Structure 1
Amino acid sequence: MNAQRSGFFAAVIMAGFAANLVLGGCGSPAGGNPAVNEAPVSVVAALSKKHADPKLKTYTFPDGHISFAYPASWTVRTVLPPAGIPGVEAIVTDDAGNDLLSLGNGFTSGCAGGPVSRRVLDQAAVPGMTAPDGTEPVFGFAAESYGNGNDVAYVMGLTDPRSLEEGEHVASWCNLVPTGNGGLSTRVVFTDPGFRNGGVARAWMATEQYVQLKALLVSLTYA
Structure 2
Amino acid sequence: MKGTLMRPAFRAPFVSALAAAAALSLAGCGAVVSAVPSSTSPAASATASASPSPSASASAPAPVELKTYTFPNGHVSFKYPAGWKVELFTGSGSPSESATATVIDAGGTEQATVYSGPVADGVSHPVTRTVFESAPVSGLAAQPAPAAHYAFYVDRMDTNATYRMHLAAGAPKPGQGSALDGIIRAGNGVILADVKFIEKPFANDAAAKSWLAGTEGQALKALLLSISYS
Partner amino acid, structure 2, of 1:95: A
SS class of match (1:120): strand
Post-superposition shift, 1:43?
A: 7.4
Contact persistence 2:5–2:199 (CA under 8 A): no
- Asked if residue 87 in structure 1 is aligned to residue 95 in structure 2, the reply is no
Contact persistence 2:49–2:202 (CA under 8 A): no
Post-superposition shift, 1:41?
A: 3.9
Distance in 1, matches of 2:77 and 2:146, equals 19
Distance in 2, matches of 1:175 and 1:99, equals 19
C-alpha change, 1:165 and 1:5, in structure 2 (3 Å) is: closer
Contact persistence 1:44–1:207 (CA under 8 A): no
Pairs within 5 Å for 1:183-198: 183-198=190-205
Distance in 2, matches of 1:36 and 1:44, equals 20
- Asked if residue 165 in structure 1 is aligned to residue 173 in structure 2, the reply is yes
Pairs within 5 Å for 1:87-166: 87-130=98-141, 132-146=143-157, 148=158, 150-161=159-170, 164-166=172-174
Which residue number corresponds to residue 14 of structure 2? 12
C-alpha change, 1:207 and 1:132, in structure 2 (3 Å) is: closer
Which residue number corresponds to residue 70 of structure 1? 80
Post-superposition shift, 1:69?
A: 0.9
Q: TM-score, normalised by structure 2?
A: 0.76
Distance in 2, matches of 1:194 and 1:64, equals 34
Which residue number corresponds to residue 28 of structure 1? none
Which residue number corresponds to residue 216 of structure 1? 223
Which ranges in structure 1 are unaligned for 5 or more consecutive residues? 18-32
Contact persistence 2:46–2:207 (CA under 8 A): no
Contact persistence 1:131–1:177 (CA under 8 A): no
Count of aligned residue pairs for this structure pair: 199
Contact persistence 1:132–1:178 (CA under 8 A): yes
- Deviates further, 126-135 or 35-44: 35-44
Contact persistence 1:155–1:173 (CA under 8 A): no
Which residue number corresponds to residue 39 of structure 2? none
Which ranges in structure 2 are unaligned for 5 or more consecutive residues? 20-43
Q: TM-score, normalised by structure 1?
A: 0.78
C-alpha change, 1:39 and 1:109, in structure 2 (3 Å) is: closer
Pairs within 5 Å for 1:30-45: 34-36=45-47, 38-42=49-53, 45=56
